[in-house]
Every structure is written in C-alpha cells, then in structure tokens.
Amino acid sequence: MNAIRVENLTKRYGANEVLKGVNLKVDEGEFYALMGPNGSGKTTLASIIASVRIPTSGSVDIYGRKSWQAKEWIGYVPQENFSSPKLTGRENLIYFARLLGYSGSQAKSLVNEMLGRIGLSADADKRVDKYSGGMRKRLEVATALFPGVRILILDEPTTGLDPSARRKFLGLVEEVKDKQTTIFLITHLGSDAELASRVGLIDNGEIIAEGEPEALKRMHGLVDVITVETAVKSDKVADVLRNFSDEKRLLETEAGYRIYCKHGDKVLPEAVRNLDQIGCKVTRIEVARPSLEDVFFKLTEKTVTEVS
C-alpha cells in the first residue's frame, strides 16, 4: 500500500503556479528524498502532504485517507526551529505529548524514553536556547516520533548544521527509522538525499526525475566528475576545462569547477598540463563520483543552490 499518494497536485498563489500537476507515490517503510533548489516547490509540497496547506487542485492520500483525516499518522518537522527556546528540552517534549492527549504521568515517562533515544537525556533540563543547532534539531525530530506516527516528514533538517552535527543528525534518522516508518525528506543537499532509497528531483514545481540515487546517475550518463580548484577563476580557465568535458558541460562552483567525462583518470593529467600552459595554478584536482547535484545540473543546467 502507498503510504503517500499525490495525484495531479497543483498549487497556485494568484498567478504564480508553485506546483504543476505533481504525481508521486511513496511506499510504506520507504525513505524518499525530494531534492531541489530554493523556490522549486518542495516545502510547499511537504506542507500540503502534512495538511498545513491545501492544494489548488489534485489530491493527497495518506494510507488511503485524505491527508487532513490522517494527522495522527504524520510527524511533521518544519524547516524553522519551532521548539520554544524558553522551555527546557523535557518541557518542550512534554508539551507536544500532552497536545497528543497523553496524561501528565504518561507524558513524563514517554518523554524520558524518547530523550534517551535521541541522546539528550543529560541536557533534558537545560533551556533550549542553550542547545546547539544539532541538539535542537534532534529535539524537534523527537516531537514527530511519538507512538502512532507512521510518516516522518522532514523539511531541510540539516540546514544550518555543521558537518559533524549533520552526520550525527542523519545517524539519528537512520536509527529511528524502522520497517514501518516512512520517511519523506526535503533537501537541497545531494549528500542528504543519497541516504534515501529513492530520490525525486524537483524544479519549478515539477518532478523532473525520480529513481534510486545510483540509477539516476547511470541513467543520465554520469560516470566521472573531476573537481578542479584554481587560484583564480576566469573565462580562459573555463574554456580550457570545457574542452575536456563531455557535451562541453562545465559547472562553476565556489572554489573552482566541475567537469564530466568518461575516463577521469586519463583526462586529469591532460587537464592539469593544459591549465599549466596558460599559467593557471591548480590548488586541488580530483576525480570524484558523480553526485545528485550533478544529475540536477545535467537535467536543468542550474545548480541546486540557485534560486529558481
């Protein structure tokens, strides 16, 4: 049975169509990641599935029920930090437990168990404004893990976290996932989406590709990616590198460039020689495996971090 079934979903704000006939199915127990740049409609889609917004047309079913009739099965974690900074971690979780109908004593005992599960027992009685970003995010995910939740919707959960906190957080998500819990992750980071069993790429309100992460990369002919970091960036450098890239495709990054080719180990020394000939100092060059950002770039000629 589909845990989430989205059919011909459209959302319009005035003349602006944010979602354009989106179709999507997520099976029970699946870890599905929806990846796209800012403004692509992924948060809008997540909030419609969570019943926070209503679609202009189309439907969302959660285990065969309309989404607003299935709220007790949904654990939604919005992008913003919604936990109260003036309350302690324990008080925040007790608040949500009581909102769900647990009595005071039931809430206390359940919260103690959850705090242990998310690794915040030692900091449970500190105010949340004293928590690090990673601790706060773990607390907020815990508010979506009360018994009975079958679908966990996480909207950009690792935004603002340092790499170490990000890894710990993703480790928590992996731990808490069980066979029955479906995870729907919204992200613009390919490295987060790689953890999913299936990824949907969204751009301009439409899903442009869908599949397992490795299958998506193979499907779009991405073999090797060479990351080049140079002392300076210029059109001359870009022109040289473009000649080594399949389909003359070049992605400019913050520190340099990425080019796509079939035999990276042979192309790499040639590229270095040519850059040296034009007097360009290479600070770092390596052959990497393609990422989902590379798939997105191949399909749209845009980076995931661009605003649509």
Partner 1 sequence: MSQIAAAFSRTIKEFLRERAVLFWTIAWPIVWVLIGSFVFVSGAPKEIVPYLRGSTTISMLVFALMIAGIANLPANIASDRENGLLAKLMSMPISPRKDFVGRILGLAAFSCLAAALVIAVGFACGARFSTTDIGVLQAVGFLLLVICASAGIGLLVGTFIKHVHGAVMTGVGIAVVTSAVSGMFMPYLALPLSLQQFARVYPIASANSSAIYALMGEEIAGYNPLTVSQISLTVALSVFLLILGTILYSRRCWRTE
Query: Which residue type, as a one-letter code, is found at position 196?
Result: A
184 binds partner 1 (CB under 8 A): no
Q: Which of 16, 35, 15, 14 is nearest to 24 (CA)?
A: 35
CA distance 272 to 225: 15
10 binds partner 1 (CB under 8 A): no
159 binds partner 1 (CB under 8 A): no
CB of 166 to partner 1, least distance (A): 20
Kindly state the number of chain residues that form the binding site for partner 1, as judged by CB under 8 A: 35
Find tokens 């969302």 and name the residue.
Answer: 60
130 binds partner 1 (CB under 8 A): no
Three-class SS state of 36: coil
Choice between 86 and 289, CB closer to partner 1: 86
291 binds partner 1 (CB under 8 A): no
How many alpha carbons fall within 13 Å on the CB side of residue 295?
31
77 binds partner 1 (CB under 8 A): yes
150 binds partner 1 (CB under 8 A): no
CB of 99 to partner 1, least distance (A): 5
Task: Please check whether residue 32 is in contact with residue 210, taking contact to mean a CB–CB distance below 8 angstroms.
Answer: no
Q: Which of 117, 132, 128 is nearest to 91 (CA)?
A: 128
50 binds partner 1 (CB under 8 A): yes
84 binds partner 1 (CB under 8 A): yes
Q: Rounded to whole angstroms, what are the CA distances from 114 to 9, 71, 75, 147, 234?
A: 35, 21, 14, 10, 53
DSSP label at residue 280: P
76 binds partner 1 (CB under 8 A): yes
167 binds partner 1 (CB under 8 A): no
182 binds partner 1 (CB under 8 A): no
Summarize as ranges the residues that interact with partner 1 (CB under 8 A): 47, 50-54, 68, 71-72, 74, 76-82, 84, 86-87, 91, 94-96, 98-104, 107, 127, 143, 153
